[in-house]
Homo-oligomer: A and B are copies of this chain.
Amino acid sequence: MEQIFAHDTLYRFTNSVFKAMGCNPTDAATATNVLLSADLRGVDSHGIARLTGYIRLWEGKRVNANPRMKIVHETPSTAVVDGDAGLGLVVAPFAMQVAIDKAKNAGTGWVSVRNSNHFGIAGYHAMMALPHDMIGIAMTNASALVAPTFSIERMLGTNPIAVAIPAGDQPPFVADFATTTASNGKLEILQRKQKEAPLGWVQDKEGNESTDANALKSAGAMLPLGSDREHGSHKGYALGSIVDIFSAVLSGASYGPWAPPFPAYVPMPENMPGEGLGHFFGAMRIDAFRTADDFKAHMDNWITRFRNARPANEQQRVLIPGDPEREMETERRLHGIPLVASIIEELKVIGIKFGVEL
């Protein structure tokens, strides 16, 4: 049912597919790196499993394989980037690099992006800041699947936030999470296994709590982090809204329920108030606040102290954000990336279409 593939094998395949789509070699390599970093880090829903989806968007002329990305407005610490309908996998690293370059001169850099597409795993982009001794921030809006508190209408995407913070001897702190109780990827895993979802992940079309992992297919909705009002869903709703506004209203992308859908067969919303999907990136130079050495020594202390916080029982330990993904990457670089049969089938179809062998 599952088969293991070496990272290199999947890299060559994916890179060839992007080149066959018409991406130039640099963009193809970037897109491949971003996409496969999700598989390496164990965020399987955002990796090669989405390749078919990206190709369908390209076939539907919603993705431009050769975008001319450009800065359309800027100040010393900010920029707006027009992604020219390119793959988010290519547009996002371009825009994050602009944020990093701004930070070199102004201390921080903040870039809002319009006219883009899904950008893969948010953590990849945030982590681009780390080698520069900067804190990196990445967020994006996405197809509307989430109902605000007290509503039954899908108004927001799962709108993830990633924050990467450098440390010294310790590995970096890398938070990367959807602003919903559970990500759509986790819901898809339950659907595949025909299992029920825990209460608090989704609601049915009338707004009742539901354990139906397929609730979205019958006009249900995902729930903001917090699940219900009593447990703080208004905070998850506020967070998702902030991501939407920073990513799309600041840049001139399409926001809220008008965000362009990822599945190419879903018609585009009518009266879109902006262009494409939006992202938001930030880079903060550590030494714009204190010396990088001081900061890193204290981050090491922070991380060590939290990792040694008393666990609730002997089977558990306190994790630092980024720990599970880093351990997964070590494991998968060594032993390969498992893919389920249905994804392998999809990749074979892609391979035939583009004349590339898996």
Contacts and interface: CB of A to CB of B under 8 A. Distances in A.
Give the number of times this chain occurs in the complex, counting copies. 2
A129 interface: no
A114 to B, nearest CB: 9
Interface stretch (A34-42, A46-54, A150-158, A329-337): A150-158
Given A151-B311, A226-B225, A312-B150, A78 B284 contact: yes
B234 A321 contact: yes
Nearest to A257: B305
B231 A227 contact: yes
Given A152-B312, A234-B321, A242 B175 contact: yes
B311 A108 contact: no
Interface in A311-344: 311-313, 316-319, 321
A68 interface: no
A120 interface: no
Contacts of A180: 232
A75 B288 contact: yes
Contacts of A7: none
B108 A163 contact: no
A153 B148 CA distance: 33
A255 B149 contact: no
A177 interface: yes
Given A173-B245, A273-B301, A309 B148 contact: yes
Interface in A251-266: 251-252, 255-257
B148 A241 contact: no
A190 to B, nearest CB: 12
A354 interface: no
Interface string A63-77: 000000000010111
A155 B108 contact: no
A311 B96 CA distance: 38
Interface of A: 73, 75-78, 80, 105-108, 110, 112, 147-153, 155, 163, 165, 173, 175, 177-182, 198, 200-201, 206-207, 225-227, 230-232, 234-239, 241-242, 244-245, 249-252, 255-257, 273-274, 284-286, 288-290, 294-295, 298-299, 301-302, 305-306, 309-313, 316-319, 321
Contact of A181 (B150, B231, B273): B231
A175 B224 CA distance: 15
B107 A110 contact: yes
A249 B149 CA distance: 34
A353 B173 CA distance: 48
B310 A106 contact: no
A255 B295 CA distance: 12
B245 A165 contact: yes
A163 B178 CA distance: 18
